[in-house]
Homo-oligomer: A and B are copies of this chain.
Amino acid sequence: MFNETKTHEITVDVVILTIINNAIQVLLVKRLNEPFKDKWAIPGGYVRLSENLDQAALRVLKERTNVDNIYLEQLYTFGDPLRHPNSRVITCAYFALVRAEDIKIISSPELGWHKVSALPPLAFDHKEIIQYSLKRTRERLEICPVAYQLLNEKFTLTEMQKSYELIMDKKLDKRNFRKKALATEGLIELDEYTKSSSKRPARLYTFESIKLDSKRAHFISNKKKEKK
């Protein structure tokens, strides 16, 4: 059934998430070749022999979005023998949280953002990978304020609350949210306000940068120390 002397191929695939138009969106590329021609896929690429997995994922991310220094975490390694119809490809999946304002891609028929709530037909097991990345994002958010990675550098508390509501998929009480948000370590209150809206201007906030380690446990343990 399988030729056991064939070699594996190993790729990294990166689920790139952001918030646009009040919806969580994932960056997808359209496949131009078989297999799964004309289906959508998450960006990926082969791991080069000279780079480690994190570097490979960063490279893929940078190739596609021209951003770096963002939240990037190894998600899970998928290795079902049948996940690729022709060859044996094991993929180490990562997920990234990026700011829409940082991305310099031009949406084209072959590359673009798609709402995770309405995914197009996807290649391989990429639907499963995306679902899993959303689950992991929720888990992260329960522990640490990763959501700010999805926000613009300066944001209002209302925007922050919106992103939490999108990720956790539930409404939050405004006053309770603000109370908790303001108590979050790393949140910095700015002396700037939104303008150019016919409403009361909102104060802007930002986050001091946090060192991230793609090995999530390190990240967790760092955040757990965040105690008052």
Contact A47 B135 (CB under 8 A): no
Given contacts A49-B3, A135-B221, A217-B135, contact A92 B80 (CB under 8 A): no
Question: Max chain B CB contacts within 10 Å: which of A4, A50, A136?
Answer: A50
Given contacts A132-B215, A217-B132, contact A49 B6 (CB under 8 A): yes
Report the separation of the CA atoms of residues A217 and B135 in the bound assembly, to the nearest whole angstrom: 7
**Closest residue on chain B to residue A135 by CB atoms:** B217
**Closest residue on chain B to residue A215 by CB atoms:** B76
Residues of B close to A135: CB separation below 8 A: 217, 221
Contact B215 A4 (CB under 8 A): no
Contact A47 B90 (CB under 8 A): yes
Report the separation of the CA atoms of residues A9 and B49 in the bound assembly, to the nearest whole angstrom: 11
Residues of B close to A220: CB separation below 8 A: 139
Confirm or deny: A8 has a beta carbon within 8 angstroms of a beta carbon on chain B.
yes
Confirm or deny: A120 has a beta carbon within 8 angstroms of a beta carbon on chain B.
no
- In chain A, positions 92-126 with a C-beta closer than 8 Å to chain B are 92
Cβ-neighbour of A79 out of B7, B53, B136 (below 8 A)? B53
- In chain A, positions 1-57 with a C-beta closer than 8 Å to chain B are 1-4, 6-10, 47-53, 56
Confirm or deny: A178 has a beta carbon within 8 angstroms of a beta carbon on chain B.
no
Confirm or deny: A161 has a beta carbon within 8 angstroms of a beta carbon on chain B.
no
Which A residues are within 8 Å of any B CB, using their own CB?
A: 1-4, 6-10, 47-53, 56, 74, 76-81, 88, 90, 92, 132, 135-136, 139, 215, 217, 220-221
Extra A-B contacts (13), CB below 8 Å, given A7-B9, A90-B92, A135-B217: A1-B50, A2-B48, A4-B48, A4-B49, A6-B49, A8-B8, A8-B10, A8-B49, A10-B10, A47-B79, A50-B81, A52-B79, A79-B92
Give 10 pairs: A residue, B residue, CB < 8 Å, sorted on A: A4-B48, A8-B49, A49-B81, A53-B79, A53-B90, A74-B77, A77-B92, A79-B92, A136-B217, A139-B217
